[in-house]
């Protein structure tokens, strides 16, 4: 299990194993989330747009054109956006 030491100014270095696992690069930010049971979750603060590629794809789903999307919006199908 990776371990880090806290300096007298409250700073620490995220161990390389954790940086690799979270795909953190210099300049990235991380969130600290305290759970009700006292556990702490550390996660990247933001998701890179490139990491979102393909998340909405479903097997067998046909892509639609920008024109079709715009037409649907004009018809008010997505008025909750």
């300049």: which residue's tokens? 27
For the segment 5-49, what is each residue's pLDDT rounded down to a tens digit?
999 999 999 999 999 999 999 988 899 999 999 999 999 887 777
Q: Is 57 a residue whose pLDDT tops 90? A: no
Instruction: Report pLDDT for 77.
Output: 60
Q: Domain-by-domain residue ranges, the chain?
A: 16-74
Q: What is the CA radius of gyration of the chain?
A: 21
Instruction: Report pLDDT for 53.
Output: 76
Q: For residues 41 and 25, is the Cβ–Cβ distance under 8 A?
A: no
For 10, phi then psi, to 5°, come to: 85, 10
CATH of 16-74, one of 3.40.50, 2.30.170, 2.10.260, 3.40.1000: 2.10.260
Q: Is 54 a residue whose pLDDT tops 80? A: no
Instruction: Report pLDDT for 8.
Output: 96
pTM above 0.75, yes or no: no
């299990």: which residue's tokens? 1
Q: How many CA atoms lie within 13 A of 36 on its CB side?
A: 0
């Amino acid at each position: 299990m990776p371990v880090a030491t806290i300096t007298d100014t409250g700073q620490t270095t995220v161990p390389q194993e954790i940086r690799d696992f979270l795909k953190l690069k210099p300049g990235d930010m991380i969130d600290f989330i305290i759970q009700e049971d006292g556990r702490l979750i550390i996660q990247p603060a933001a998701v890179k747009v490139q990491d979102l590629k393909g998340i909405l794809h479903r097997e067998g789903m046909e892509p639609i054109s920008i024109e079709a999307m715009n037409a649907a919006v004009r018809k008010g199908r997505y008025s909750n956006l």
